[in-house]
Structure 1
Amino acid sequence: MIEEVLIWAAVAVVGTAVVWKGSGLLEVASERLSIYYGLPDIVQGSIIVAIGSSFPELATVVVSTLVHGTFELGVSAIVGSALFNILIIPALSGLLGNEQLTSNRDLVYKESQFYMIAIAVLLLTFSFAVIYHPVPSADGLLMGEMTRGLALLPLGLYAVYIFIQYQDSIEFVSEVDGSYVRPEAEWLTLGLALGLILVGVEGLVRAAVNFGRILDTPDFLWGITIVAAGTSIPDGFVSVRAAQNGRSLTSTANVLGSNIFDLLCCIPLGILIAGTATINFSLTAPLMAVLTLATLILFLMMRTHMVLTRQEALGLLGFYALFVIWAALESFQAIDVLAYIPHR
């Protein structure tokens, strides 16, 4: 068993490295295209770079659902990635940046509050699946079938988000010279990056499924930790680099924009591609509650003098550590707060 664990651990490391490389290429291409088309920093961070760096999460939902038949792993990876983004990345950006991580009222009130709306709409969509398309469960779990029609609800909200960002950028005039950018080459690089990310995500998902099989644990644990961290590392490097270059707004906007895209697009697009998928609402609802709590904590910290202090950054790291410990204890059945986590 130890040999198998080591083999799949190596696969996970290699998969993360491939995702990292592909995401690096994708992010550079996205950033250069943003400069070429003259987009403002907050739009660049919350849409262009965010969508680019969130492609691993989208690939995770598609691969886990279509190839491995485990939609639960894809959903847990999305929620885990969102938690990683909202807790670990701002903390590292604040601790490793050249100065304290700052924000402004637009970022705090528009981006953060829209992100909380995104959480509520996705949870509402899951609720509709349970109410209107219930799936019987022998374990007494609340299960529902996500359909393509329901998937359009969060996608519609993301269209509203794009419209809001467009309105904010209408009168923006970029002062950065983008004449050096060759758009054709950057689009080709972006396509190559997407291919690399798909290969890396397949390795991560395959490793997560086998960890669950070997250790007799639910896919939930490995999706919310290993796969989530592996797909979120690129976001972390983008935000930390932006903070080190004195671009705190881009750093934080990338985190919130990535999470908005993850919640409103990655899961729904996976449903549109797969057709339908069964959601375990008994497990998803408390995870979304933890995500809401984490978002509120970051919101309050960023709102205090519009700065994330070193002590607050350490607090975010501590909250994430407690979450991972709790998830592991639940999955190994050391505690039984969530009795509805399915085990093999």
Structure 2
Amino acid sequence: MILGGVLPDRPIVSALVIVVATGFIWFGSGWLEESAEQLSAYYGLPAVVQGSIVVAVGSSFPELAAVVFTAIDGTFNMGIGAIVGSAIFNILVIPALSGIVTDGELDTNRTIVYKEAQFYMIAVSALVVTLALAVIYVPDPDGPELSGTLTRPLALLPLLLYGLYLFIQWQDVSDHDAEGITDGIDIGREWGKLAVGLVVILVAVEQLVGSVESLSHTVGIPAFLAGVTIIAAATSLPDTLVSVRSAQTGKGITSIGNVLGSNTFDLLVAIPIGVLIAESATVDFAAAVPMLGVLTLATVLLFSFLRTDLSITDLESYVLLLAYGLFVAWMIAESAGLTELIKGT
């Protein structure tokens, strides 16, 4: 329901609300980015932890909100679609844009390649296993053939893995000797700015999800594909803004760390949190797994580029953009019924 039913439920109105909500997400993400950067400097966090935890969790708040709202509304497939679509966007588009805006090559290091990227691959595998367990042990008799119910006990599995991720990051913080920068930073003001940014994003995403759901019903776009395309692109704005700005200032490690950390948070925390709030959620395995397969291929492509000379060149950036363009073309073909590779949508 758009703005609580104040506005008429028409496609043009839904499209307008989507644009306005996306703008507010962008606005809220700007406050979030500034406060997260100041807080990281104040507490003396290393660049990798700043990107993969502090900034990543904050910029992933739109995806978390999208999953929660779709789980409550009974359209959890749209929420999973938003998470997977956002992850594909983050993996292919954000490093590409960061590499293009950087003067020269976008530099990384072995920590990014051998810790962040590889742990993210484990996160993708863990989500696939969790969905498979839902289909095997809690099948949905009223749903499609390969559908299952994600219950709270199953949702705890990815959360436990994210706990391991936090432990690893905590070890890095313990080994880091840099002192915090306290001069000129009003810590109370920065925490307040962070909170306001999150509230703005929360409200905007709630309206975004409602508008996309209304538009998908009117136009006939399957919920999962609507999540993969429209919601995914809109909720990825904070990640894009944060990573590109970090790359422009020469912080390539923070930029890539935000991408991988944000995706890890989305897969291991955002989806389980939605399940915990809604008590349970039905998921279509046949629709989700092909998209997770695409995400895996995209991750392998990025990992290969990151490992080559520990940098991303302009040519590699354009290859990543081309790969995302092919993905979007495939989604358009699926929506138009030209291809039927995704079952159950």
Residue aligning to 1:236 = 240
Find the aligned partners of 1:328 and 1:207 in 2 and give their Cα distance.
20
Q: TM-score, normalised by structure 2?
A: 0.95
Q: Who is 2:87 aligned against?
A: 82
Task: Please state whether the residue corresponding to 1:335 is helix, strand or coil.
Answer: coil
Query: Are the equivalent residues in 2 in contact too, given 1:5–1:214 (CA < 8 A)?
Result: yes
Displacement of 1:337 after TM fit? 2.3
Check if 1:111 corresponds to 2:116: yes
Question: Where does the alignment leave 5 or more consecutive residues of structure 2 unmatched?
Answer: 1-8
CA contact (8 A) 1:331 1:341 kept: no
Deviation larger for 106-115 or 210-219: 210-219
Please name the residue that 2:11 is paired with: 5
Secondary structure of the corresponding residue to residue 145 of structure 1: strand
In the alignment, structure 1 residue 286 sits paired with structure 2 residue 290: yes
The structure 1 residue matched to 2:304, chosen from 286, 300, 310, is: 300
Counterpart AA for 1:306: L
Partner of 1:223: 227
The one-letter code sitting in structure 2 at the alignment partner of 1:152 is L
Shift of 1:214: 1.7
RMSD: 1.4
**Percentage of matched positions with identical amino acids:** 50
2:104–2:313: 8 Å Cα contact kept in structure 1? no
Q: Distance in 1 between matches of 2:340 and 2:69?
A: 30
Contact persistence 1:98–1:243 (CA under 8 A): no
Partner deviation per Cα, 1:227-266 (whole Å, 9 max, x = no partner): 1111101111111111110110001000000000000000
Q: What is aligned with 2:175?
A: 171
Aligned match of 2:47: 41
State the TM-score, normalizing by the size of structure 1: 0.95
What residue in structure 2 maps to residue 197 of structure 1?
201
Query: What is the CA–CA distance in structure 2 between the aligned matches of 1:125 and 1:183, rounded to whole Å?
Result: 39
Asked whether the 8 Å contact 2:43–2:180 carries over to 1, the reply is no
Q: Quick one: distance in 1 between partners of 2:304 and 2:175?
A: 31
Partner of 2:332: 328
Q: Report SS of the residue matched to 1:181.
A: coil
- The match for 2:26 among 13, 16, 20 is 20
- Mean Cα deviation higher: 162-171 or 46-55: 162-171
How far 1:176 moved relative to its partner? 5.7
| Structure 1 residues 127-160: Cα deviation after superposition (integer angstroms, max 9, x where no partner) | 1100110012465x30000011011100000010
In structure 1, the residue matched to 2:96 is 91
Partner of residue 341 from structure 1, selected from 316, 339, 344: 344
The alpha carbon displacement at 1:4 in A equals 3.4
2-structure distance, mates of 1:222, 1:257: 24
1:272-331 superposed Cα distances (whole Å, 9 cap, x missing partner): 111100010011111111100000000001111111111111111111111111112112
Alignment of 1:257-268 (within 5 A): 257-268=261-272
CA distance in 1, matches of 2:96, 2:180: 29
